[in-house]
Homo-oligomer: A and B are copies of this chain.
Amino acid sequence: MHTVIPPHMQHHTEEHFSSSALVTDIVIGMSDGLTVPFALAAGLSGAVSDTHLVVVAGLAEIVAGSIAMGLGGFLAGKTEVDHYNAELKREAWEVVNLPEREREEVRQIFEEMGISPSTQALVVDELVRDDKKWIDFMMRFELGLEKPDPKRASKSALNIGISYIVGGLVPLMPYFFVSSPIAGLYYSAAITVVCLFIFGYFKAKVTGQAPLKGAFSVMLIGSVAAAAAFGIAKLISG
C-alpha cells in the first residue's frame, strides 16, 4: 500500500499535468493493489489450510484498501483546494493591506537570484503594478503553490480506487481456482511477479526513470513484502 509519492517527486509531471493525471492515478492505485493483497494472500497461504479464507481475507483487504486509498485521495484533494484558496485569500489581503511588506518579499526573491539592487527595484515596481499578477507571483514563487483543479479530487479518487481493485484481483485470482492455499500461492506468485515487473517497467517509463531498474524495484518490493508476510504468518501460526 502505500505508494508514497513524496511532494517533490511529482513536480516534473506538472507541466503535462492533465494528460498524465489519469496515468499517475493508475500508477498509484495499481502499485499498492498488486503488492499488498499479494503479500497478504502469500502470508495466509503459509498459515491456513482453506483457500476460501485466503479469498475472504484478500477481498476484504481489497475493499478496505481501495476505500482507504480512494476516499483518502479524495479528501486530500479537497484539502488541497481549500488550502490553495485560503492562501490565495491571505495573499490577496496582504497585497492590499500590507503592500510594503509584500513588496519587500518580492524584492528578496530577486535578491536571492543575484539581481542587483537597482534592477530589483525596477522589477518590483513593474510586478506590483497589476494586483492579479502580483498575487500570482506570490502564490507561485513565494509559496510554491500551483492552482489545483477542483474537479480532480473525485475523479482521482475513483481512478485510484478502481486501479487498486484491478491490481488486487491479479494475485487473488488463482485462489479461486485451486483448493490448496500453497498451490494458489505458486500460481499467484508466478503471475504477480510477472505483472509487477511489467507494471514496474511502465511505471518507470511514465515517471521518467530507467525502465529496467524500475521494473526490478517494483518486483523487489512486492516479493520482499510477500516473503516477509509468509514468514511471519508461518511463525505465529506454528
A residues bordering B, Cβ < 8 Å?
A: 1-14, 28, 31-32, 35-36, 39-40, 43-44, 47-48, 52-53, 55-57, 59-61, 63-65, 67-69, 71-73, 75-77, 79-80, 82-84, 87, 110, 113-116, 119, 122-123, 126-127, 129-130, 133, 137, 141, 143-146, 148, 156, 160, 164, 207-209, 217, 220-222, 224-226, 228-233, 236-237
Contact across chains for A207 and B13 when beta carbons are under 8 A apart: no
A23 CB to closest chain B CB, in angstroms?
Answer: 14
Contact across chains for A57 and B43 when beta carbons are under 8 A apart: yes
Chain A contact residues: helix, strand, loop or mixed: helix
Question: What residues of B have a CB within 8 angstroms of the CB of A7 in the complex?
Answer: 5, 7-11, 13-14
Question: What residues of B have a CB within 8 angstroms of the CB of A129 in the complex?
Answer: 114
Q: A63 to B48, alpha carbons, bound, how many Å?
A: 17
